[in-house]
Structure 1
């Protein structure tokens, strides 16, 4: 097997192959032959699916500088070295079904990366720098352990497809994903939301109401919004309720960008029309077959994703309601 592998790589080097298939080779280590001398400078696509790799070489980008597509599906990789960020031509990276606990921080330096698939790993979080990838069009992170996503995710116009299905701890999505194609079935957990009264605090003639979820802080089923989101919603209602002649929120008291955002939220709850600024709760509704759906990419069924402002609205919203 070793001699056959070396022969395959040697032929690829001599004939300057652009594609190399090393799937199903029972590889436990990255082949040193690929890294020999100057490496394979002409190689653009490397397929290493369904092996037993545990690590990747740190000099991968140096030896295979022109990689456009790298497929590492179904291995035992625990860590991706930071030097993967040096693959400047890389457009597709598939490292799904491995044992990753984290993604490399320098991955955002792969400026050509368009398709990133890290399904079925053990990821707890997503590096915020990933939001800076200028060419990223599709991001798939289904079947991980994600509890939250960076608030900036989806801010790039290039990112159109995000799949986070079956992340049971993930209970909300950044509002920048509002108009993207989202896969989020199997996310979050079903809870019974009891009826609670709104909390409030007063100062003189001014009363500010806080969302009911604040009361759940510290309980087993707390689903608490980020402080930034709570503050934005409270300021929004206060700003639109207080008479303008009181000049409560003036350009001096708040930055101009924040005032502009208060005037125009990024979205509104499908259940109660509550404004949403940085965080939403998604709810997927598979729809029946419809002839019109077949006009789009040949599909005959379509789905609808509703966006809610709280777990209470999430539980009570229905398309027929």
Structure 2
């Protein structure tokens, strides 16, 4: 009986080789079949539990991946790439686990398919007829047989767990037990009873690690953002805190920029616009509503040479300290504002200052000590000299380079004293000046142009010493005064003399004898009725003579032959003498240089006109009668 059973087992299980002892009988095989049934149920339970555990792991990993993706979405590109790599790694892990599970299920199905041919007929045959006998015999088995059957069962379990390609040769109970132990290696191992607890611990560790990783990623993200902000801040150009666009290529929206010229005029601005480039040379802000200048704004413009703030609403308080520290400013126009005094913080480099049309009434004694390079100073249309106040003597002496001084249309009663000797042009039109004092200059001055028009000068006010030190004077304008005769003792250097709009009634023979260089003479709008014979003959360089709007009854006799233009319109002329334009020795006179003779609006009778009076002229069209 024993050999038969042994042969049957060998043929029924061709994939496994068992060496059994001779003491094994049929009851052992029956015991194996029963144990095999029990093992199959347990294996099904473990498989179900393992599948559930894997599903929970997968769901937790998906949740973790979603959280990581949500956190990493807000990160930068480096964080996004890192999240993609983490996602790919986890997806590969999940795929590998799923593949392992599929392979395990395929192995189990293969094993069940292989064992069905062997165990199923035995279990069917023996369970139907001997199931009760197996249970009864199992209780009464000797200890040795029970041990053998248990070992055989362990051997059978090992064969199920191990791959079908493995072959085991049992060399004894110890070898079989060692093979069936939990340390057996292979792609499929029997899970221990403590594995669920280990899985829970592993989940906790993974969850904790993910939290730490997320926290580190947030800290890293903040650090990266801070680093990026600092880097961008370093890259930005250094500009004042009040405006970030003082770049050379920028132009404020309110202005128009042409190279280094910034045109902001006529824009209804109430303040200087921010953003004007620092390299600007000309800044034009006239005709606006600017009432104040931002403190220390203009001092930042190192290249600015010309600043125009004309026709605005600036007052003393709002410009105090505004012009201090400007390094290159040469021309400053602050005309037609509301200033009552000259700014005391003018830059040293200033060469031209225009304060016309303000309310300046006083010039402090030390105001111009800061501007030794000033060349042009204009203070017309102010209130200088009002309330019996005058300009202090010598207040302008610190301006050792001053060339042009304009004090027109003020309320000055006298010419300022002790003016700089460097002065070349002095404009005093529209004041209340009645006389010129001899100490106007303390030495030989360089004065070339003097305008005293529209004042109250009289014949006595122009004494002998009035212009004694103005030996280089070339142009003297005395229009609109109270003179009754041509002034005497005028400098010999005068080339242009304007005596229009006075009360001169006659011209004497020696009236211009002291002015041999006179070229332009204006005597219009006087009351001249008589001119002495040869009064203008002493002027060898006279080119232009204007005697319109007088009461002349004839053209003056012996006019200079080198005269180019003569105007006698708006008089009462009836006669043109023969020697008025053409005169000389004998009957033949040289050709005249006259180009134009105006005789309109007179009482000349063309029917009784002496044609010999025009014999030396170059053409009849030279004389204009109408």
Q: Same fold (TM over 0.5)?
A: yes
Question: Does the CA-based 8 Å contact 2:473-2:491 persist in structure 1?
Answer: no
Question: Does the CA-based 8 Å contact 1:142-1:166 persist in structure 2?
Answer: yes
Partner of residue 207, structure 1: none
Question: Does the CA-based 8 Å contact 1:12-1:20 persist in structure 2?
Answer: no
Partner of residue 172, structure 1: 486
Q: Which runs of 5+ in 1 are unaligned?
A: 192-210, 212-228, 230-264, 275-282, 288-300, 306-315
Taking the aligned partners of 2:404 and 2:481, their CA distance within structure 1 comes to 23
Taking the aligned partners of 2:576 and 2:323, their CA distance within structure 1 comes to 59
Partner of residue 91, structure 1: 403
Question: Does the CA-based 8 Å contact 2:416-2:440 persist in structure 1?
Answer: no
Partner of residue 376, structure 2: 69
1:271 aligns with one of 502, 512, 532: 532
Cα 1:91/1:170, change in 2 over 3 Å: farther
Runs of 4+ in 1 over 6 A off after TM superposition: 267-270
Partner of residue 4, structure 1: 293
Taking the aligned partners of 1:88 and 1:166, their CA distance within structure 2 comes to 32
Taking the aligned partners of 1:62 and 1:267, their CA distance within structure 2 comes to 39
1:149 is aligned to 2:438: no
Higher percent of residues as strand: 1
Cα 1:61/1:302, change in 2 over 3 Å: farther
Partner of residue 284, structure 2: none
1:102 aligns with one of 414, 417, 423: 414
TM-score by length of 1: 0.56
Instruction: Output aligned runs, 1:96-245, within 5 Å.
Output: 96-107=408-419, 110-130=420-440, 132-147=443-458, 148-152=461-465, 153=467, 156-169=470-483, 171-177=485-491, 179-188=494-503
Cα 1:303/1:56, change in 2 over 3 Å: farther
Taking the aligned partners of 2:490 and 2:567, their CA distance within structure 1 comes to 17
Residue 135 of structure 1: how far off its partner (Å): 0.9
Question: Does the CA-based 8 Å contact 1:52-1:76 persist in structure 2?
Answer: yes
Q: Which has the larger radius of gyration?
A: 2
Residue 68 of structure 1: how far off its partner (Å): 0.6
Cα 1:28/1:170, change in 2 over 3 Å: farther
Residue 138 of structure 1: how far off its partner (Å): 0.4
Q: Could you list the per-position Cα deviations for residues 153-184 of structure 1 after superposition, in whole angstroms to 9, with x for gaps in the alignment?
A: 37755211000100024533124356531011
Cα 1:174/1:155, change in 2 over 3 Å: farther
How well do the aligned residues superpose, as a CA RMSD in angstroms? 3.9
Cα 1:56/1:2, change in 2 over 3 Å: farther
Taking the aligned partners of 1:29 and 1:141, their CA distance within structure 2 comes to 25
Q: Could you list the per-position Cα deviations for residues 240-292 of structure 1 after superposition, in whole angstroms to 9, with x for gaps in the alignment?
A: xxxxxxxxxxxxxxxxxxxxxxxxx7479961569xxxxxxxx95259xxxxx
Question: Does the CA-based 8 Å contact 1:161-1:181 persist in structure 2?
Answer: yes
1:81 aligns with one of 386, 389, 392: 392
Cα 1:111/1:126, change in 2 over 3 Å: same
Question: Does the CA-based 8 Å contact 2:491-2:515 persist in structure 1?
Answer: no
Bigger drift between 111-120 and 176-185 goes to 176-185
Cα 1:5/1:284, change in 2 over 3 Å: farther
Partner of residue 255, structure 1: none
Residue 136 of structure 1: how far off its partner (Å): 0.6
Question: Does the CA-based 8 Å contact 2:472-2:491 persist in structure 1?
Answer: no
Q: Which runs of 5+ in 2 are unaligned?
A: 1-289, 299-320, 517-529, 536-544, 550-563, 581-626
Q: Number of paired residues?
A: 213
2:361 aligns with one of 32, 48, 54: 54
TM-score by length of 2: 0.30
Question: Does the CA-based 8 Å contact 1:60-1:84 persist in structure 2?
Answer: no
1:20 is aligned to 2:317: no
Instruction: Output aligned runs, 1:293-308, within 5 Å.
Output: 302=565
Q: Could you list the per-position Cα deviations for residues 48-70 of structure 1 after superposition, in whole angstroms to 9, with x for gaps in the alignment?
A: 01111111121123122221100
Q: Could you list the per-position Cα deviations for residues 178-233 of structure 1 after superposition, in whole angstroms to 9, with x for gaps in the alignment?
A: 65310110112659xxxxxxxxxxxxxxxxxxx9xxxxxxxxxxxxxxxxx9xxxx
